[in-house]
Amino acid sequence: MSINTNLYAKMQGMKGDKMKFNMFQFLHAIYVFQDLVEKELFGQATNNYARVIYVSLKMGRILKLSDYEILDLLFLALLRDNGMSAKEIFETHYQSVSTGLIPMTISREHCIRGEDNLQRFPFFSNPQNVIMYHHEHYDGTGVFGMKGENIPLMSQIIFLASNIDSVYNFDLVAKDPAIKDSMKEYVKNNKSKLFSEKITESFLRLANDDMFWNVFLNHEISNAVKKETATYNFDFTFSKIREMTSIFSRITDMSSSFTTKHSATLARNMEQMIQFYKFDEDHRQKLLIASDLHDIGKLGIHPAILEKKGSLTKNEFVVIQRHPLIGYKSINQIKGLKDVAKWILNHHEKCDGSGYPRGLFDEDLDFESKLLGCLDIYTALREDRSYRPEMTQEEAFIILFDMANRNLIDKGICEDIKHVFYKLPNQTV
């Protein structure tokens, strides 16, 4: 066994205290990530998520939702399309972008997947079926035929905000203030059709407030959301934070038929290494969060590349190499998760400087980055991939130690992984 003694010294100084978790930072990290994904996939970020959460927030205030309900509403508005990441759903959606027509089956399926993905998200007010029904029309002509007040109020709010933005785009008010009147008329004309009377009247009341429009006129949505959510600071343990972030493990793994369990399996493997190293609880949770989120940037990579059988072209590999940076840019927004963001950024670096995205060397990499990188390789080798079948433990360790002998990854950590996971031939880890 080759336990790093410096690591133990470091662990002794770590405390198990709760951290002050700023909800705005978490919300901001999510929509920064959504914009990064849109930019990678479609060439430009639409800033749609920021607009929809702002309008939803203001509508929630007018409708007198509680603070906890407002927080849940914002999370749901941001995560409303999380089911779209499923490979088969995304591919059809991607193909339909040029036509502007999204098939009804896609709208229905992504609502089902999205609702299912959020079953374990630690909401504050226990909202039910909001994602499932966020494309419903008040008159029952939506994708599920849900009608009237059977549609959850939060679903109605999110639908109004996203529908108006998709038809008009709130940001365009800065170029053409007359769009404000067009939006009002659109909502009035769709009262009792797309929107309830209560939702319609609430939006019209909001639309009569010049302060509401000034946010778009002055391009200050991010600051406006920050101001509105500034008081939402909670003392959370890292385990509670992981309940929030682990949802992205499932969303990420859905994006490819060959990584359906990779992040979840990596987290389980990391749990074994954590026990081996005797990390304290906070350190444990941070490493599990990093394992859950290490490939979150792959949501910005087209499935055609992720699913490709055979070798990638040079340009395709360049695209793949962006995913650690995409993940880092979003997670680094959150105070308290700076280490996690760094480990995510570094998990494809190599000790000889041949890794990506920064070409770091052994002395530049901390223990956790090396551990995450080594364990990610081992976990991937033991899984089916588009270009090869699952490897046995013996085959995986041959490759792992070959990489270590070539100074690509840390040999001591590889020895620890073998000590923890090695079993008799044909047994599953």
Residue partners of 230: CB distance under 8 A and separation at least 6: 24
**Sequence-ordered strand ranges (E) for 57-126:** none
Does the pLDDT at position 88 exceed 50?
A: no
Residue partners of 191: CB distance under 8 A and separation at least 6: 197, 200
Please report, in angstroms and rounded to a whole number, the separation of the first and last CA atoms in the chain.
Answer: 19
- Domain residue limits, the chain: 5-15+237-421, 22-233
Q: What is the pLDDT of residues 321-357, one digit of tens each?
A: 999 998 898 888 887 899 999 999 999 999 999 999 9
Q: What is the pLDDT of residues 140-192, one digit of tens each?
A: 999 999 999 999 999 999 999 999 999 999 999 999 999 999 999 999 999 99
User: Which is the CATH superfamily of the domain at 5-15+237-421?
Assistant: Hypothetical protein af1432 (1.10.3210.10)
> What is the average pLDDT score of the chain?
83
Residue partners of 3: CB distance under 8 A and separation at least 6: 276, 277, 416
User: How high is the pLDDT of residue 185?
Assistant: 97
User: How high is the pLDDT of residue 236?
Assistant: 72
Q: Using CB atoms within 10 A of its CB, is residue 221 exposed (0-12), middle (13-18) or buried (19+)? A: buried
User: How high is the pLDDT of residue 179?
Assistant: 94
Class of domain 22-233: mainly alpha
**Structure tokens given for 146:** 């849900």
CA distance 330 to 322: 13
CA distance 148 to 281: 47
User: How high is the pLDDT of residue 18?
Assistant: 59
Domains 5-15+237-421 and 22-233 share a fold: yes
Residue with tokens 């990530």: 33
User: How high is the pLDDT of residue 81?
Assistant: 83
Does the pLDDT at position 3 exceed 60?
A: no
